[in-house]
Structure 1
Amino acid sequence: RLLSAGMLLTILLGAATAMACFTDLSWWEAGILAAILAPTDAGLGQVIVNSPQVPARIRQALNVEAGLNDGLAVPFLMLFIALAAAIEEGAGTRGVLAHFLVEQIGYGTAIGLAIGLGGGLLMGLAQRRQWMTPELGQLGVVAMPLLCILAAEESGASMFIAAFVSGLAAQVGFPKVGRHSVEFTEGWGQLFNFFVFFLFGLLFARSWHDFTPAIMLYALLSLTVVRMLPVSVAVAGIGLSRASVLFLGWFGPRGLASIVLGLVYLEQQPNLPGETTIRLAVMATVLMSIVAHGLSAKPGIERYARSNEALPPDAPEHAAVVVPATH
């Protein structure tokens, strides 16, 4: 529900909110901004998904959503960039759509399947024959998305779609790819995460005087209404308590995923009129999220845990969850 209806409504509401806050954006540029800020950040939400005070079903929902929604947002982002650039250049949208479907999605999916299936089968064989130590499994997993990036650059495909599909396809021949990717993320990946946020802080320090009231208002709305209303609609009808719906809606932090998607947009160099507004809105939203979600995480967990004490044992929050096997 969060990855389908929730995410589509978030992008739609985010674009509509951007049009209401900014006068210099077209609808496609507003869609670009909404797609960049739609994914939630697994790193900033780590304290939530690791807390035993939060029901396992709620933790898993937030964890899986943050792990998948950045890849799902990429096709929307690339499509909006292509359409906005085509309109700015006076080109027809039909040719842009065909080019987008063939190159960005078609080639990206083909590259991801080839590298994921081939790499997964080779790594699975190496593990069964004991040709590879367990520690090197982490490097093998990291090598596959890097190969996707190289191949995508040469073919004009979307590197993120290729890497996303590759990660899914690798599980066919190497079921432990998920465990190794988590190990890398919790080790070296965390270092890279901090490094990116350090660079982000430097960029923010250089641009803080450019943040207008409209930029800050959009950042606030993006973290509240634009996130929380779609979540409440998406989970309606499954019996979650009001506290659970509020908890799911609020703890959708924006962080590394939005920074990376913002860099993808800037790397495309579409030279759109609203580029400055998009860049500043993304920076303000991410910074506000870091502060607001960081300060509210611990008290939010404790208050939510107290509200759950009154729930009956058969409440949906306490339903058993299936954790994928890693062995």
Structure 2
Amino acid sequence: MKDHYLILAGLGLATLVMAWLPAFSKKLRVSSPILLLLVGFLLFWVDVPLSWPDPLWNDTWLMYFSEAIVIISLMGAGLKIGANYSWSSWKKPLMLVFLTMPLCMISAFLLGQYFLVLSLPSSLLLAAVLAPTDPVLAAEVQLDDPMDEKEYEGNIRFTLTAEAGLNDGIAFPFSYLAVMVAQAGTWAAFNFTNWFWDKLLLKIIIGVVLGLLIGRLIGLLMDRLYKYAGVETFVGFLALSLTFATYGITELLHGYGFLAVFFAGFSLRYYENVSGDYKKKLHDFVTEMEHLLLVVWIILFGGSIMNGILMITDWKGILFALIFVIVIRPLSGLIALAASKEKFKTKLAISFFGIRGIGSVFYLSWAFVQFDHFAYKQELYSITAYIILISIIIHGVTAPTAIEHFRRKGSITEGDRGSATDT
């Protein structure tokens, strides 16, 4: 029983610290994931008897846990984006998704093949898992209060929020690509037609359509229940229920659940007959759940680091991780935004803060659950852990200062912008 109480005390104190971390991170000008990682190191050092990764997690457990965090975060991202953003605002995240993401994947694939000397399926998988911008660890550079959305075409937070919501689902077909090539054994035996029409097009379309439809139906149901039965819905828990229901239904109906969850939150956020106060309550509840799970995930990630996950790869893996975070993503972002009329500093900030995190871990573990014979499995986990750690440190140190700089300059929430029109 002593171990049981130690676990409860350790996790309780860690989550208690999370209540003050946002305020501390603002004062220290570092993001809260860095501080949480230090808490994880401390709990491992004092030998709190958690089921620490040794140094790798079980694939299935890791897949389910990271899946839950990502879909909850995607619902929050969808609920943040309101109706005040014009087409010119949406062009930037769409360019990041349809140009930056492929450039990052192609670069990662080529480096995986010719620098890391991985197998073809493993190189494809590495490229796929590094494609998404993480909606969880990137929360501090995304939209904040969903009711405080004054229009500004150069909104950095909006661009990064929309990008994370979109590309976390669109990265899925490329994880399928790696798995299907690995299962086929050779590129020549791979069924490209099935992948293109089914895994790439059909599942994306189903995910987007079902997400928009479910969010709209829930908004309509809440409106009608109040109008005709006097039943007012004002519990934040509905956001969690909507998250899991949307994800499960969409996956059962052959769509991508990540996309569906994001668009369900987005669709509900747009539904005008649901009050703005309630939308904020939904968002706040999801954010609290996300923070709770994030505490546990980063603590265990810290334990994995202490147990030696970083020691599995060699200097090539470390150099690849640095190049991907510091060079490939920023350069790919700048290429995508080259035609934008934004100032170079704004484009650089958007390009630089392509934070990698829990979404990458989900795709990696998902692929290993689907096919357990990938070559270089442990090396892929180690390289991904390096990329996440580097992203946490570099972006965690620079993001608060950069966001504050652009806020003072009027590029985040102030400036020549109108007021929100949400009901």
* Aligned equivalent of 1:190, options 265, 269, 291: 291
Aligned to 1:34: 127
1:213 aligns with 2:311: no
What is the letter of the counterpart of residue 189 of structure 1? E
Note the C-alpha offset of 1:171: 5.6
Alignment of 1:275-294 (within 5 A): 275-294=377-396
1:3 aligns with 2:103: no
Unaligned runs of 5+ in 1: 310-314
Contact residue 41 and residue 257 of structure 1 kept, 8 A: yes
Q: Percent identity?
A: 24
Q: Deviations over 1:19-61 (max 9, x none)?
A: 23311231x4323222222222344334444799x99622322
What is the letter of the counterpart of residue 268 of structure 1? Q
User: Which moved further from structure 2: 55-64 or 87-96?
Assistant: 87-96
What is the letter of the counterpart of residue 293 of structure 2? F
1:23 aligns with 2:117: yes
* Aligned equivalent of 2:301, options 187, 193, 200: 200
* Aligned equivalent of 1:121, options 189, 203, 220: 220
Aligned to 1:80: 178
Note the C-alpha offset of 1:228: 0.7
Note the C-alpha offset of 1:232: 0.6
Note the C-alpha offset of 1:10: 2.1
Q: Deviations over 1:42-100 (max 9, x none)?
A: 44334444799x99622322232233321222233233332333235985414642553
1:234 aligns with 2:336: yes
Q: Deviations over 1:97-119 (max 9, x none)?
A: 25536985576567646644544
Q: Deviations over 1:172-195 (max 9, x none)?
A: 767758645522233222111222
Residues 252 and 102 of structure 1: CA distance in aligned 2, closer, same or farther (over 3 Å): closer
Contact residue 74 and residue 161 of structure 1 kept, 8 A: no
Aligned to 1:147: 245
Contact residue 39 and residue 258 of structure 1 kept, 8 A: yes
Note the C-alpha offset of 1:236: 0.8
Note the C-alpha offset of 1:279: 1.8
Aligned to 1:131: 231
* Aligned equivalent of 1:269, options 346, 357, 371: 371
User: Which moved further from structure 2: 109-118 or 186-195?
Assistant: 109-118
Aligned to 1:312: none
Unaligned runs of 5+ in 2: 1-94
Structure 1 counterpart SS, 2:171:
helix
* Aligned equivalent of 1:252, options 346, 354, 358: 354
Residues 95 and 86 of structure 1: CA distance in aligned 2, closer, same or farther (over 3 Å): farther
Distance in 1, matches of 2:420 and 2:131, equals 26
Residues 62 and 116 of structure 1: CA distance in aligned 2, closer, same or farther (over 3 Å): closer
User: Which moved further from structure 2: 240-249 or 146-155?
Assistant: 146-155
Contact residue 121 and residue 172 of structure 1 kept, 8 A: no
1:59 aligns with 2:157: yes
Q: Deviations over 1:185-240 (max 9, x none)?
A: 33222111222222222233332321311111111111122201111111112233
Residues 205 and 56 of structure 1: CA distance in aligned 2, closer, same or farther (over 3 Å): same
* Structure number with higher relative contact order (C-alpha < 8 Å, ≥ 6 residues apart): 2
User: Which moved further from structure 2: 61-70 or 94-103?
Assistant: 94-103
Aligned length: 317
Q: TM-score scaled to structure 1, two decimals?
A: 0.77
Contact residue 219 and residue 284 of structure 1 kept, 8 A: yes
What is the letter of the counterpart of residue 193 of structure 1? L
Distance in 2, matches of 1:76 and 1:103, equals 14
User: Which moved further from structure 2: 214-223 or 63-72?
Assistant: 63-72
Distance in 1, matches of 2:383 and 2:173, equals 21
Distance in 2, matches of 1:296 and 1:109, equals 33
Contact residue 19 and residue 30 of structure 1 kept, 8 A: yes
Note the C-alpha offset of 1:326: 4.0
Note the C-alpha offset of 1:290: 0.8
What is the letter of the counterpart of residue 255 of structure 1? G
Bigger proportion of residues as helix: 1
Distance in 2, matches of 1:324 and 1:12, equals 40
User: Which moved further from structure 2: 113-122 or 188-197?
Assistant: 113-122
Residues 188 and 320 of structure 1: CA distance in aligned 2, closer, same or farther (over 3 Å): same
1:13 aligns with 2:114: no
What is the letter of the counterpart of residue 302 of structure 2? G
Structure 1 counterpart SS, 2:155:
helix
Q: Deviations over 1:230-258 (max 9, x none)?
A: 11111112233332232222222212322
Residues 297 and 156 of structure 1: CA distance in aligned 2, closer, same or farther (over 3 Å): closer
Note the C-alpha offset of 1:304: 6.3
Note the C-alpha offset of 1:297: 2.7
Residues 140 and 303 of structure 1: CA distance in aligned 2, closer, same or farther (over 3 Å): closer
Contact residue 35 and residue 76 of structure 1 kept, 8 A: yes
What is the letter of the counterpart of residue 10 of structure 1? C
Task: Note the aligned Cα RMSD (angstroms).
Answer: 3.9
